[in-house]
Structure 1
Amino acid sequence: MTGEERRQHERTAMKARVRVVHRLFGEFDFSTGDISDGGLFIVMENDHFRPELGDRVTVQVQGLPVPAPVLDMKVVRRTDDGLGLQFENC
C-alpha cells in the first residue's frame, strides 16, 4: 500500500438495497456503491442520517427471497456521497 491508499481488500462495484439501523437515528434504506471482504460503501443522497465515525450500525440486504443475515458494522469513512462501513469481525 502506497500513498493515500490504505485499503486491505479489493472493492467490487455492487448495487443492492440495504437497511441500516442506528440505535439513535433509527432505520434507513440505502443503495450500496461497492463491497469488499472488509466492508461496504452506502450511497446517501441528501439524507438526515449522519452518524459519527466509530458509530455501530446493523446492516441487512433487502429484496432477497429469504431474509438476509443482520450484520454488525462500524462507520469508518464519510464522504459527500455516503458512508464507508466496516464489518465488525474484520
Structure 2
Amino acid sequence: MVGNDRREHIRTAMSAKVKVVHAEQGEFIFSTRDISDGGVFIVVDTEPFTPSLGDKVTVQVQGLPVPAPVLEMVVVRKTNDGYGLQFDQNGD
C-alpha cells in the first residue's frame, strides 16, 4: 500500500450501468467508475441518492444479453462524486 491508500484490492476502471436498490430511497440507475475484487464505485451526480455509510443496497449490472446476478453490497465510502460500495460478505 502506498501513502493513505488503504485499499486491499486493485481497482480497474470500468464504466457500466448498474441498477442500485435502496430499501428506503428506491431504485436508481448509475454509472460505475471502477471495480475491484472488493467492490465498486458508483458515480452519483444529479440523482437524489443519499445513503448513509453502512446502508445495504442491491446492485445489478444492466444492458447485458441475460440478466446479471443481483448482488448485496454495503455503502462504505462517500466522495463528492459518488459512493464506494463493498460486496457484502455477511449476506445478511
User: TM-score, structure 1 length as denominator?
Assistant: 0.96
Calculate the aligned-residue CA RMSD, in Å.
1.1
The aligned length equals 90
The equivalences for 1:31-70 within 5 A come to 31-70=31-70
Q: Distance in 2 between matches of 1:85 and 1:20?
A: 10
**Matching residue of 1:89:** 89
**Matching residue of 1:18:** 18
| Structure 1 gap ranges (5+) | none
Superposition misfits of 4+ residues, deviation over 4 angstroms: none
Aligned partner letter, 2:48: H
Q: Distance in 2 between matches of 1:6 and 1:20?
A: 25
User: TM-score, structure 2 length as denominator?
Assistant: 0.94
Q: Distance in 1 between matches of 2:69 and 2:2?
A: 35
| Structure 2 gap ranges (5+) | none
Q: Distance in 2 between matches of 1:4 and 1:27?
A: 33
Q: Distance in 2 between matches of 1:82 and 1:44?
A: 5
